[in-house]
Amino acid sequence: MSGTEDLLVEAGRLAAELDTADPPTLLDVRWRLVGPPGRDDYRAGHLPGAVFVDLDTELCGPPGPAGRHPLPDPAALQAALRAAGVRAGHPVVVYDGGDGMSAARAWWTLRWAGHGPVRVLTGGYPAWLAAGLPTSTEQPNPAEGDLTVRPGALPALDAAGAAELAAAESGLLLDVRAAPRYRGEHEPVDPVAGHVPGAVNLPAPEYVAEGRFPAAEVLRERFAAAGVVPGAPVGAYCGSGVTAAQAVLALHLAGRPDAALYVGSWSNWVADPDRPVATSGTADA
């Protein structure tokens, strides 16, 4: 079981680690679904030494039938991470604007790419500011990294895998979007409303608040209440695989490192009009 210290880091501890001879590599991955790009926030101020990496264009592939945030091309991802100074076996810390979603997707992507030592800064940039720690507007020019991307180190689902998991008697597919989106009453982003038949709704605020997770035991209880069973397969999806990556991180914290991410999520599912859509408030609609 991965411990919290292997997955998350508090601002004070990170500051101490940065004040060493060989500090972790810092990646600023601030991002918004709509609104000004995260790079603007980075230019206005960031953790000293942090390099900005764009979620949309560097950590994900181009939007299309595979979803709004599909898996990146491994060679392109490797080039982006090496340009950011990511070195094989060297610790990485990722942070975002505080909600923890894009940081979790960056964490998942690096882990999926075979890079194990990566943590998320709890509370993101606001937590760093709240701790009174220094910021910078200097954009570093890191030495080229040497990470080799080896895809598949974390489990990922495609549409067929998601459908199989949702229909399995002993498995569970979690839909972590807001309940009205799950029920098909409201869909602000994608062209079709509803959910994957058989999926169970567990909205993100039930296991994370403002980028902070409760204790592992509390997470285990909340996932168990949703139907997560020890030893049985579990996966998660959202609109485009960003919020769901945070659910996978929460499942890791709860002792489920086998949890799978449906990367394309709902934006991939509805790209094929032949895929079934459920629109009630129950998983077996």
Short-list 253, 267, 63, 281, CA closest to 162: 267
Q: What is the DSSP string of 32-69?
A: -SSSS-HHHHHHH-B-TT-EE--IIIIIS---BTTBSS
CA–CA dist 235, 247 (Å, integer): 9
Whether residue 109 contacts residue 77, with contact meaning beta carbons closer than 8 Å, is answered with yes
Short-list 141, 104, 108, 109, CA closest to 124: 104
Catalytic residue among 94, 238, 242, 251: 238
CB atoms within 10 A of CB 246: 27
Short-list 91, 81, 88, CA closest to 29: 81
CA–CA dist 153, 116 (Å, integer): 9
Active site residue 238: yes
Q: Residue written as tokens 């609609």?
A: 285
Whether residue 69 contacts residue 242, with contact meaning beta carbons closer than 8 Å, is answered with yes
Short-list 27, 55, 54, CA closest to 147: 27
CA–CA dist 84, 87 (Å, integer): 9
- Name the residues annotated as catalytic: 238
